Amino acid sequence: MTPGARLQAAIELLAEIAATPRPADAVASAFFRARRFIGAKDRSAVAGTVFTVLRCEARLRWWLKWAGCPDPTDARARVIAHSILGERSRETGRRAAAVARVFDGGRFAPAPFSADETRVAETLDLHTLEHPAMPETVRVECPGWAEPGLRRALGGRFVPELEALTGPAPLDLRVNPLRASRERVLTGLAAAGIAAQPCRLSPLGVRVEGRPAIAALELFKSGAIEIQDEGSQLVALLADARPGQQVVDFCAGAGGKALAMAAAMNNRGRLVACDVLENRLKRAAERLRRGGLHNAETRTLSSARDPWVKRHKGCFDRVLVDAPCSGTGTWRRNPDSRWRPLGPGLEQLVPLQAELLDSAARLVRPGGRLIYATCSLLLEENEDQVEAFLAGHPDFVPLPLAEIWPAVLGGPSPLEGHWLRLSPARHDTDGFFAAILERRGGEVAAAEPQG
pLDDT digits (tens, 9 = 90+) for 166-183: 999 999 999 999 999 999
Give me the domain span that covers residue 331.
Answer: 230-439
Indicate whether 207 belongs to any domain: yes
The pTM for the full model equals 0.92
Tell me what the mean pLDDT of segment 276-282 comes to.
92
**Distance between CA 189 and CA 48 in Å, rounded?**
23
Both 88 and 214 in a single domain? Answer: no
Both 52 and 14 in a single domain? Answer: yes
Both 219 and 301 in a single domain? Answer: no
Both 215 and 247 in a single domain? Answer: no
Active-site residues, by number, are: 375
pLDDT, the chain, mean: 93
Q: What is the DSSP string of 194-229?
A: --EEE-SS-TTEEEESS---GGGSHHHHTTSEEE--
**Residue 12 half-sphere exposure toward CB, CA atoms < 13 A:** 16
**Distance between CA 52 and CA 191 in Å, rounded?**
31
**Distance between CA 311 and CA 315 in Å, rounded?**
9
For residue 93, the model assigns a pLDDT of 57
Domain count, the chain: 3
Both 104 and 208 in a single domain? Answer: no
Indicate whether 91 belongs to any domain: yes
For residue 105, the model assigns a pLDDT of 92
For residue 416, the model assigns a pLDDT of 87
Q: What is the DSSP letter of 109?
A: S
For residue 442, the model assigns a pLDDT of 56
**Distance between CA 424 and CA 377 in Å, rounded?**
11
The CATH code of the domain that includes 402 is 3.40.50.150
Q: DSSP 3-state helix, strand, coil percentages of the chain (rounded to 5)?
A: 45, 15, 40
Indicate whether 153 belongs to any domain: no
Q: What is the 3-state secondary structure (H, E, C) of 254-289?
A: CCHHHHHHHHHCCCCCEEEEEECCHHHHHHHHHHHH
Indicate whether 146 belongs to any domain: no
Domain boundary among 96, 128, 160: 128
pLDDT digits (tens, 9 = 90+) for 50-62: 999 999 999 999 9
Indicate whether 265 belongs to any domain: yes
Both 189 and 254 in a single domain? Answer: no
Q: Is the pLDDT of residue 451 over 50?
A: no
CB of 356 within 8 A of CB of 321?
A: yes
For residue 150, the model assigns a pLDDT of 98
Both 297 and 370 in a single domain? Answer: yes
Both 215 and 234 in a single domain? Answer: no
Both 356 and 394 in a single domain? Answer: yes
**Distance between CA 316 and CA 318 in Å, rounded?**
6
Tell me what the mean pLDDT of segment 369-385 comes to.
98
Indicate whether 119 belongs to any domain: yes
Task: Kindly indicate the confidence band of residue 338, based on its pLDDT and cuts at 50, 70 and 90.
Answer: very high
The CATH code of the domain that includes 189 is 3.30.70.1170
Domain boundary among 107, 128, 149: 128
Both 218 and 237 in a single domain? Answer: no
Both 90 and 197 in a single domain? Answer: no
Indicate whether 56 belongs to any domain: yes
Both 47 and 22 in a single domain? Answer: yes
pLDDT digits (tens, 9 = 90+) for 113-167: 999 999 999 999 989 999 999 999 999 999 999 999 999 999 999 999 999 999 9
For residue 441, the model assigns a pLDDT of 77
Domain boundary among 227, 248, 275: 227
Indicate whether 268 belongs to any domain: yes
